[in-house]
Chains A and B, each alone.
Chain A
Amino acid sequence: MATYNLNEVLKQREAQKAAWEAATTGKELALDDISRVKVLSPGRQVFKRFIRNRLAVFGSLLLITMFVFSFIGPLFYSYGQKQIFYKYDRQNVNYALAKENTTYNGYVLDEGLTLDRPVVNSMNSNIKKMQAAGKDEMLVLGDNGGYKIGKIGEAVYVLSAGKAEQVCSTGEGTVKVGSYSGVSKKITYAGETVEGLEEAAAANLKGKEGTFDFNGTTYSYTRGAAKSYDIFAELSGISYTGRTMDAGFESALAEAVAAGTDFSYNGESYLINKEGSLYNVYSVSDLKDARVFTNYTLDTMEVSGRVSDEFKAAALMAAYGDGEFTVDGQTYTVVPSEGALDIYDAAGESYAEFNPFSVRRYSGEDTMEYALKNAVAAKIEEMKLSGVKSGTMVYDLPQQNEDGSYSRDEEGNLIYNETEMKITQRDTGEYVINCDQINYVIDMYAAPSAKHILGTDGDGFDVMARIMYGGRVSLMVGFVVVFIEILLGVIMGGIAGYYGGWVDNLIMRMVDVFYCLPSMPIMIILGAMMDALRMDTYIRLMIMMAALGIMGWAGVARLVRGQILSLREQEFMVATEATGIKVGARIFRHLVPNVMPQLIVTATMGIGSVILTESTLSFLGLGVKHPLATWGTIINSVSSASAMAHYAFIWIPVGLLICVTVIAFNFVGDGLRDAYDPKAKR
């Protein structure tokens, strides 16, 4: 049992106190004094050496800034990476097209009637013909009936359809009498039967064709197939198809033929169809109104008001009739005025107007105000009078927003801008109205301003936001790729270094092969292929990271193997073997941690170079794609010569950012290496 000497204990305590005092006041310090020796853990030693290196500290600060900027910055930045910015900008646009409408458009009056298409299609030219001849009526023959075009008012024409029946033929020509069959010696008559013609024909028909006289009429014939002949009679006077008309008709016909017009007799209308020098006369009867034609266009007082064709047809018919019509239960009145038809609704308000002058938006839409149309029409009238081909006018135009509709203020009123409009006549006779319109457009390539610190790019994205989000992707790519590289490299290198022999040989040959593989060309080929397959940009990102990782592990494996080869001969490995630790644990728990310093240095430097590779690929457009941002894609968007020259504010900051980040990784890597291995510091 130990004995205590109180004196000794007190002496010791005294001595300790003195030593402590000496240590704090700096007096009487022995060389081996405990307070002189400050023991640091290996980690802290490395840290201390690291922070002594100014470049490394500078690099770390840069990296921290970069991470805060890319990963935390977007949380406080109000714009997103895919947010498109718009602005109001003046653009000179083709605003409208004005023309005097000379084409006649038809509106259906009676849907039950089927009309001959050629007749409807030629309405325009027929109306022009009527106008040229100063006629108010015209008869037209169709395949299925007869038609009448009647003028009911200024620029309003009605097409009526009815039956057409041939009455007679006149003039010079031949009329088919019938067909003679040489076998049955009979004539199949087309019209009236001629007595004795069969005998005369039997006697005279010879050869291919010829003529013969019979009863004072000359007949001609041509031979058809199987001994049959077609027999024609030379026409003289009038040859009736059906009933015979009186002398009054014949004199009216003669007059009409001489004048080349249609005629009516006894309240019936007749149409003369001229074929060469033969005139076929048809009676047109049973007429019903089918379509109404006009060259007027309808402008409603309400902006872009929609009016049915039924309304237009009813209005046109009423214009020169009783002046009143009802559509959809509403009654309207229509009053013809000079060169126009005014339509009023039941309350007597002006509702719409038919006029020959059409002013439409350049796209063909009818979205212009009536007053504007009128103003344009008036200006064009004035231009016509003074004989000039272009003119200007000023008018308040409504402003447009992003989807092309009109923008309104808080109270829902349209916003108007006073606009100078330029009216020019084209060679085709149309008038084009040009003006500067304030449109809502994408804010492209905006210079840096308070709203956009670094401006906007070609897609209207805020460059600052793009840089932040791009930094995320770029840094993330660096980390993931290096992680894959290290993982593969440590596994392969660890196995190779530990086992040695043929395993080592095999793995190292693989390393040699991968070392030799040209990675940049392969990445470019991959990118081009993914381009052609139109792969989704996120999938591309994954594939790119995997490919870069797989092609980069060889260097790490070489490093790990080299270290492990020397480490495995050391005593602590013998100890692990003696204690019976499993092989996996021996490699990855006892050997690999000893390689950690070199791995960390390689990884830090590696991230920098991966960021460079990724940005190069993205710059070439073969890496990450729009709309996902990376630093490379941002520069890629202004890589063309003109964009590069004009929009330096976009690519210079991004390029500098890439440089600074990579430099920072290299500084930190250098610093770490020196800190881990001070002997190697030179």
Chain B
Amino acid sequence: MAKFTIKRVLYSILILFFVMFLIYVLMYNMPMGYIETKARELASRPGATKSYAEWLADLNAQYGMDKGVVLGYLTWLKSALRGNWGDSWAWTIPVTQEFHNTVWYSFILGFVSFVFEILIAIPLGITAAKNQYSFTDYFTTVVSMVCISMPTFFIATVLKYIFSVKLGWFDLSGMQGRNYMNLSDFGKFLDVAKHFVLPSITIIIISIGGLMRYTRTNMLEVLNADYIRTARAKGVPEKKVINYHAFRNTLIPLVTTLGGSLPGLFSGALITETLFSIRGIGYASYTSMTQGDIPFIMFYLAFISILTLLGNLISDLLYAVVDPRVRLS
């Protein structure tokens, strides 16, 4: 097991090295005119602390833009490994600080949505599988299909239209109400929580469909297995068959996938956060991307890649943990 883990970790690091290299090449090949324009814009902003040449010099020093691709990549990797990610252009504070300011909002949003997603999707998926070809089954299938097929921005816009414009229950966007400053601490908490409702619903709707289908498929597979037939033949009560024999085995793939998506909670919901102006890492990175903030973009891309690899790693390891058969082979 330890050997397997070490092998997987080393392998992930190797892939990360190449992913980062690809990202670096992408940035390295950005037209210089674009970078210069962005740096000029930055330097001419009110309250700019550095001049245009200083920004470019910073960039060269940190990213080795004036060296060759490989050498430049190594330069950047060296400073990145030391935790020096430079100053964000769009936010004018160190990249790591901006990350620190935003990532927890993303995590809260992601976590709340994740919990609700599990609470809704798994029971529904299991019910659908239990009553295959029933109305519930078709309903669940169609609903999950619709959820998968809806573009995020459309769900967000519809939710805004119904709940903000027509009913007026929530604000259109943002994280704080108008009189946030006058509220007590608990009131502030409630206010922010209220602003998180629509984004959470959006994320739940987009992600619920996939999980529902996945649960249903796996549950059906388990229900068709020989040991379930054996259990039924032995006269085990149906309730026990479902909840004890079948559900436990359905958990194997579910736990591995859900475990694998845990790191993703930190990655932020790029589109949802942007549409609802939640100051999470997704929104911050979207703003950075549209403004050509290279230091933050590089950081974000590296961060996302690490999270993806971490997710794969976790799900691989969990698979081995949950399913003894895998451990043996």
Contacts and interface: CB of A to CB of B under 8 A. Distances in A.
A433 B189 CA distance: 56
B201 to A, nearest CB: 16
B150 A521 contact: no
Interface in A500-546: 509, 512-513, 515-518, 520-522, 524-525, 528-529, 531-533
Contacts of A517: 19, 22-23, 305
Nearest to A510: B18
Contacts of A665: 149
B161 A616 contact: no
B211 interface: no
B106 interface: no
6 contacts: A517-B22, A520-B271, A521-B300, A648-B161, A659-B154, A666-B145
A635 B154 contact: yes
Interface string B11-32: 0001110110011001000110
A615 interface: yes
Interface stretch (A157-165, A186-194, A317-325, A638-646): A638-646
Contact of B301 (A509, A521, A670): A521
B318 to A, nearest CB: 19
A446 B141 CA distance: 39
Nearest to A513: B18
B111 interface: no
Interface string B160-186: 110001000000110000000000000
Contacts of B26: 522, 525
Q: Which 10 A-B pairs have the closest CB atoms?
A: A662-B149, A655-B154, A682-B220, A663-B149, A518-B304, A645-B165, A513-B18, A619-B153, A524-B289, A528-B290
B104 to A, nearest CB: 20
B17 to A, nearest CB: 9
Contacts of B172: 641
B34 A533 contact: yes
A521 B150 CA distance: 20
Given A515-B308, A659-B150, 9 more contacts: A517-B23, A518-B301, A521-B270, A528-B289, A529-B30, A635-B154, A658-B154, A665-B149, A666-B149
Nearest to B305: A516
B221 interface: yes
A532 B271 CA distance: 21
A667 interface: yes
Nearest to A520: B270
A356 interface: no
B217 interface: yes
A415 B173 CA distance: 49
A612 interface: yes
A658 B151 contact: yes
Nearest to A54: B138
Interface in B121-170: 132, 141-142, 145-146, 148-154, 157-158, 160-161, 165
A608 interface: yes
B292 interface: yes
Contacts of B301: 518, 521-522
A219 interface: no
Contacts of A354: none
Given A522-B26, A682-B220, A619 B151 contact: yes
Interface string B284-323: 0110011110000100110011001100000000000000
Interface of B: 14-16, 18-19, 22-23, 26, 30-31, 33-34, 37-38, 132, 141-142, 145-146, 148-154, 157-158, 160-161, 165, 172-173, 217, 220-221, 224, 270-271, 274, 285-286, 289-292, 297, 300-301, 304-305, 308-309
A659 B146 contact: yes
Contact of B292 (A512, A529, A635, A666): A529
Q: Which of B148, B173, B217 counts the most chain A CB atoms within 10 A?
A: B148
Given A512-B15, A645-B161, A616 B153 contact: yes
B153 A529 contact: no
A647 to B, nearest CB: 11
Nearest to A608: B149
Given A521-B301, A616-B271, A667-B145, A532 B151 contact: no
A651 interface: yes
A533 B31 contact: yes
B249 to A, nearest CB: 15
Nearest to A515: B308
A509 B292 CA distance: 30
B101 to A, nearest CB: 19
Given A513-B15, A639-B157, A682 B151 contact: no
B18 A659 contact: no
Interface string A55-84: 100000000000000000000000000000
B151 A615 contact: yes
Contacts of A515: 308
Contacts of B305: 516-518
Contacts of B149: 608, 612, 659, 662-663, 665-666
Given A517-B19, A518-B304, A619-B153, A644 B34 contact: no
A619 B161 CA distance: 17
Nearest to B141: A55
Contact of B157 (A520, A615, A651, A659): A651
Interface string A647-682: 010011001001100110111001000000000001
A596 to B, nearest CB: 23
Nearest to A613: B151
Contacts of A620: 153, 271, 274
Contacts of B300: 521
B172 to A, nearest CB: 5
Interface string A421-439: 0000000000000000000
A304 to B, nearest CB: 46
A682 B148 contact: no
A524 B309 CA distance: 21
Given A509-B15, A616-B153, A663 B145 contact: yes
Contacts of A533: 31, 33-34
B114 to A, nearest CB: 19
Contact of A659 (B151, B160, B224, B308): B151
Interface string A162-184: 00000000000000000000000
A682 B18 contact: no
Contacts of A513: 15, 18-19, 22
